[in-house]
């Protein structure tokens, strides 16, 4: 009679299967969190409820998302610390950072920027201001770290063939919301005109949309235009192609109506780059 080996083989495979399920769950959390942030950050605002309804609301959302991503990272590192020990993990950490920087020069640049912001905050004569930013301009260390966390989380998903498509689609939808709201403002039918406080200074043809200033709207739509055009070019259905092309036209109109020279120059530069790449 042959011995039953099922009891000896199952425990050996069970941990690896559980680890694979745990890794897949963590990746799905990062996938969902980054996509939500890419959509919500440009469009999220709180009209009339706060003294500053744009940056404070957006930075609060950014910090919340960054904490979720940080928890995901710590969970992954905790498993390595548990298996290898704290001291071996610390000894390997510099080598891992150097190797990752060689593979991803842009990530290395982001890391240097974060370290520069940390050094500036530590040496600042007003550390609290450097950490949190000014009351109406929240570009402090927490914002820098939050934006860097989005980059690194997105970079960790770059091996997926569908990730760039999902990023482009979510960004395009956010651009559609921002451009449509800007069109309402240009037409003078903004439903929240009387509820904005500080932002009333920007009402009129220079639409502030969901980003709080015409220059920011123009810059955001200019950055989104290459992705929108790319989506239109690769769309399989005629309806989707027409929708993306319509969004392209709407974005160009809002950029022109914003009277932002930076946005105009950005569109010209993107057009020249596309022509050069097509040659």
Q: What is the per-residue pLDDT for 12?
A: 46
Q: What is the mean pLDDT of residues 110-129?
A: 92
Q: What is the mean pLDDT of residues 10-39?
A: 67
Q: What is the per-residue pLDDT for 96?
A: 84
Q: Where residue 105 falls among pLDDT bands split at 50, 70, 90? A: very high
Smallest CA-to-CA distance from 255 within 241, 276, 269, 272 is with 269
Q: What is the per-residue pLDDT for 115?
A: 94
At residue 226, does pLDDT exceed 90?
yes
Query: Residue 54 carries which DSSP code?
Result: S
Would the pTM count as exceeding 0.85?
no
Residue spans of the domains in the chain: they are 21-159, 161-279
Q: What is the mean pLDDT of residues 197-216?
A: 67
Q: What is the mean pLDDT of residues 161-188?
A: 91
Angstrom distance (rounded) from CA 21 to CA 145: 29
Which tokens sit at 119?
């050094």
Q: What is the mean pLDDT of residues 230-254?
A: 93
Q: Where residue 35 falls among pLDDT bands split at 50, 70, 90? A: very high
SS3 for 137? strand
Angstrom distance (rounded) from CA 31 to CA 27: 6
Phi, psi of 134, deg, nearest 5? -80, 165
Q: What is the per-residue pLDDT for 200?
A: 42
For the chain, report the end-to-end CA distance as a whole number of angstroms.
73
Do residues 216 and 182 lie in contact, with contact meaning Cβ atoms separated by under 8 Å?
no
Q: Where residue 93 falls among pLDDT bands split at 50, 70, 90? A: confident
* Sole residue written with tokens 């009277």: 259
Q: What is the mean pLDDT of residues 247-254?
A: 94
At residue 126, does pLDDT exceed 80?
yes
At residue 13, does pLDDT exceed 50?
no
Q: What is the mean pLDDT of residues 137-151?
A: 90
Q: Where residue 264 falls among pLDDT bands split at 50, 70, 90? A: very high
At residue 147, does pLDDT exceed 80?
yes
Which tokens sit at 127?
């550390």
Do residues 136 and 198 lie in contact, with contact meaning Cβ atoms separated by under 8 Å?
yes
Angstrom distance (rounded) from CA 245 to CA 240: 9
* Sole residue written with tokens 């955001």: 220
Q: What is the per-residue pLDDT for 25?
A: 56
At residue 246, does pLDDT exceed 90?
yes
Q: What is the mean pLDDT of residues 123-129?
A: 90
Q: Where residue 189 falls among pLDDT bands split at 50, 70, 90? A: confident
Q: Largest alpha-carbon pair distance within the chain?
A: 88
Q: What is the mean pLDDT of residues 98-122?
A: 91
Do residues 76 and 26 lie in contact, with contact meaning Cβ atoms separated by under 8 Å?
yes
Q: What is the mean pLDDT of residues 190-194?
A: 65
More confident residue, 136 or 105: 105
């Amino acid at each position: 009679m042959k011995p039953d080996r099922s009891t000896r083989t199952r425990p050996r495979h069970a941990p690896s299967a559980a680890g694979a399920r745990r890794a897949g769950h963590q990746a799905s959390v990062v996938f969902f969190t980054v996509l939500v942030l890419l959509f919500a950050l440009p469009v999220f605002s709180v009209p009339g409820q706060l003294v500053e309804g744009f940056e404070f609301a957006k930075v609060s959302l950014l910090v919340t998302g960054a904490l979720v991503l940080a928890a995901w990272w710590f969970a992954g590192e905790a498993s390595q610390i548990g298996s290898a020990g704290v001291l071996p993990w610390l000894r390997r950490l510099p080598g891992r950072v150097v190797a990752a920087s060689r593979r991803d020069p842009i990530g290395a640049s982001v890391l240097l920027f974060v370290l520069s912001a940390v050094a500036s905050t530590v040496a600042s004569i007003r550390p609290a201001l450097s950490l949190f930013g000014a009351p109406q301009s929240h570009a402090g260390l927490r914002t820098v770290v939050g934006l860097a966390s989005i980059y690194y989380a997105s970079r960790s998903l770059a091996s997926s063939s569908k990730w760039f498509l999902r990023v482009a689609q979510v960004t395009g939808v956010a651009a559609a919301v921002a451009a449509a709201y800007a069109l309402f403002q240009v037409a003078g039918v903004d439903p929240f005109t009387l509820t904005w406080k500080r932002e009333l200074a920007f009402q009129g043809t220079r639409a502030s949309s969901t980003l709080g200033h015409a220059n920011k709207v123009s810059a955001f739509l200019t950055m989104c235009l290459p992705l929108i055009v790319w989506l239109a070019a690769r769309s399989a259905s005629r309806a989707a192609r027409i929708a993306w092309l319509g969004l392209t036209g709407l974005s160009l109109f809002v950029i022109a109506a914003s009277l932002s020279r930076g946005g105009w120059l950005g569109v010209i530069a993107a057009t020249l780059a596309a022509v050069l790449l097509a040659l």
